[in-house]
Amino acid sequence: MGNEQSELSGVDIDEKAVEISDYWSQHSASILKSDGSCTSLSVFIGELFVSGSLWSTQTPLEKCAKNSMIFRHPCMIKYVSSWQKNSRFYLAVEEVVPLSHVLSSLNILQISVGLCSILKALCFLHQNAFVSHNNICCTSIYVTKDGNWKLGGMEYLCGYKDMNYDYLAKTRSSRYSKSIDPDEDKLLQNDLGRKDFIDVYAFGVFVCEILKSKTDDEISTLSSFRDYCKNELQNADISRRPNFKSLLEHEFFNHDFIQIHSFLMELPLKNDEEKKLFFQNLGVKLLSFDELVVASQLGGLLLSRLVLFNKTAQENLLPLLLMARSDKPEDGKPKCIFSEETFKQYLCPKLLEIFRVRDAQIRLLLLYHFSNFMHIFTCEELQSFILPELLVGIKDTNDHLVAMTLRTLADLVPILGAPTVIGGKRGKLFNDGLPTHSNRRLSRDLKRQDSVSIIPNPSNLSSEVDQISLSSVDAQSTIENLNELPERPRPDGEEGETSTEEVEVSVEEDLDNWEDWDINETNSSSNRPPAITSDDMKVVDNLSKNAENISEESIKPKTIIPDIQDLDIKNQLNTVYTNDFDFFQDMEPVIDASNKFLINAGDNDISLEKKFSSKLALSMEDSNEEGWEEEEWN
């Protein structure tokens, strides 16, 4: 059984033991998968050498691993792997804990469901596999994280043909003494044709032990079932002992909660009509039970693939299942099954596992209900587990899946923030087009002050004109302020691409210069400046003319450059000054110094210096002309 090559890669076993028995110790373990997910396991570690004639060929743990690998059932402990290393044998199974660790915290409903599961496993062993377990007791039963009971401890299992007096005699000292029938040898020698009498007797003892201190508050048939197990299952007459199949038909196992659990466990065996009738009223039935019991026992089954794919369950069950119940229920809305605390404890871990499933229909179903339960997850769970899976969904070829994923990402923005959801660098590319009340007020005050300072009162206009002495620059700026209008910001990309930093600066400037365009005219009529009359415009025109005259006199050239070196086009000064912007200032002609010009001999009487001087005089006299006159070069 097993070898070093079959060892699980990446398994991390906890050194602290969960339980220690005569032949092995149980440890918690975890294994890291290739996709980054971590799976929890339970590992049993035993020695390769055990004394006793029964274990000469195989140790108890090796035999338990072999039987667990051969006989598989949903109600039996799930085999994962086994290997040997350094004189030790390792058996890895699904994550389980011994029943003795959790039995005190279970109520009668959970115990009844567990007993039903063990009965189903025993029915499979005896009626289908024709083997006997031979050690039904509390130490042979384990509980999964979903609350399901699983039958284990299969080191004493044997087939009907191997169950004889010698085998039972060798194992009797190691089995649970209270579960051994006192007349075991006698009944075996009589050979009445039944090989299940050992397990039937042991199961009766086990039921009486765990139900000893329980009351029938929730299940009225508890007392009758306990008496039935004591009187009938442990009857000295083997012929009167019922088999496991008939025991399942007892009214104790016909409770509504047990029926729901059994139906969900056997869902693949049901037809469409049975599923439709079952899921139509399932949500209402679950509301009548304790939500903690429903979540712990049925949470995993209710979120199974078969339930999620069923159309009737999608319409009637999932709206009540995938939404937490609020403290203040609203009228007109159905009551949900779980509260937020219960939902977070039992259903959130299961939903995180389902989000890793790359099935389009499953993902669409989760996205459809995601807004109802996303607030229950922590920010760490949303960012580390759910968000990476959603980002995978936007790259799929299914357009409907991509659209639903994008809507879900939009719902995550208020919780995680836009930088976390979309990533990358962001810039403020849009501004707020609705100014606040304070901004509108400030804009009105500033415009009112500007209008009063620029346009004087007509009654005092003559005296103010006499007192004001404007320079050329001040006069020109005053005229420009009168006619200046705010320029519309250039759209992004209209005249070329801009960087994110330039866009941010331009948007900030626009926010400062934004006009108060939404003020009602009727409300702002009282704040308008007085109307400009014809006399006011005459004064303004006179001011503008004086400013132009002063500007022309101040920039008029006073000397003529006589030197020929200064006549070079590179050294010339622009003699025409205007207030307009010179759009051709960067377009000066470039004269190649290597070019040579020939001058005819007939023009020797006129020197080159005189030609340039005459041309310069003409150009300076005519101040309205710009540039050089047309000239022939001979």
Q: Of the CATH numbers 3.40.350.10, 3.90.76.10, 3.30.200.20, 3.40.50.300, which one belongs to the domain with range 4-94?
A: 3.30.200.20
Q: Encoding tokens for residue 177?
A: 């003494």
- Asked whether the CA dihedral 157, 160, 162, 168 is positive or negative, the reply is positive
Residue ranges with strand state E in 378-512: none
Nearest CA-CA partner of 203 in 134, 258, 148: 134
In this predicted structure, which of 117-121, 373-377, 400-404, 611-615 has the lowest mean pLDDT? Answer: 611-615
Is 3.60.150.10 the CATH classification of the domain at 99-162+172-254? no
- Rounded to whole angstroms, the Cα distance separating 40 from 38 reads 7
**pLDDT tier at 583 (50, 70, 90 boundaries)?**
low
The average pLDDT across 75-87 equals 93
Tokens 């001999």 belong to residue = 601
In the chain, the percentage of residues whose pLDDT exceeds 90 is 46
CA distance 371 to 348: 14
Cβ(313)–Cβ(278) below 8 Å: no
- DSSP result, 616-627: HHHHHH-TT--S
Mean pLDDT of 430-447: 65
Q: Cα separation of 623 and 606, whole Å? A: 26
Are the C-beta atoms of 259 and 225 separated by less than 8 Å? no
102's tokens: 């959790």
- In sequence order, which residues have a C-beta less than 8 Å from that of residue 86 and are 6 or more positions away? none
Q: Which of 58-67, 372-381, 556-565 has the lowest mean pLDDT?
A: 556-565
Question: To the nearest whole number, what is the mean pLDDT of the chain?
Answer: 77
Between the alpha carbon of residue 210 and those of residues 164, 240, 345, the distances in Å are 30, 23, 27
Task: Dump pLDDT digits (tens) for 341-368.
Answer: 999 999 999 999 999 999 999 999 999 9
Give the position of tokens 């051709």.
584
Query: H/E element holding 165?
Result: helix 165-171
**Cβ-proximal residues to 201 (8 Å cutoff; 6+ apart), any chain:** 179, 181, 233, 234, 241
Mean pLDDT confidence for 574-591:
59
What tens digit of pLDDT does each residue of 20-42 get?
998 999 999 999 877 667 889 99
Q: What is the pLDDT of residue 486?
A: 45
pLDDT digits (tens, 9 = 90+) for 445-504: 655 655 544 444 444 444 444 444 444 444 455 444 444 444 434 444 444 444 445 545
Boundaries of every domain in the chain? 4-94, 99-162+172-254, 268-422, 444-486+498-552, 565-621
Q: Where are the beta strands (DSSP E) in 195-304?
A: none
Confidence of residue 549 (pLDDT cuts 50, 70, 90): low
How are strands ordered across the β-sheet holding 141-144?
A: 96-98, 141-144, 149-151
In one letter, which amino acid is 367? L
Within a 10 A sphere around the Cβ of 154, how many other Cβ atoms? 24
* pLDDT of 205 above 90: yes
Rounded Cα distance between 56 and 290, Å, is 51
pLDDT at 627: 43
Q: Is 90 exceeded by the pLDDT of residue 135?
A: yes
CATH architecture for residues 268-422:
Alpha Horseshoe (1.25)
- Token pair for 43: 């590992």
For the chain, the residue count is 634
Can you tell me the mean pLDDT for 139-168? 92
CA dist 38 and 58 (Å) reads 32
pLDDT of 90 reads 95
pLDDT digits (tens, 9 = 90+) for 93-123: 999 999 999 999 998 989 999 999 999 999 9
495-529 CB burial, b ≥16 within 10 A, e <16: eeeeeeeebeeebeeeeeebeeeeeeeeeeeeeee
- Name the residue with higher pLDDT: 624 or 195: 195
Is 72's pLDDT higher than 90?
Answer: yes
pLDDT band at 620 (very low <50, low <70, confident <90, very high): low
Q: What is the DSSP letter of 518?
A: T
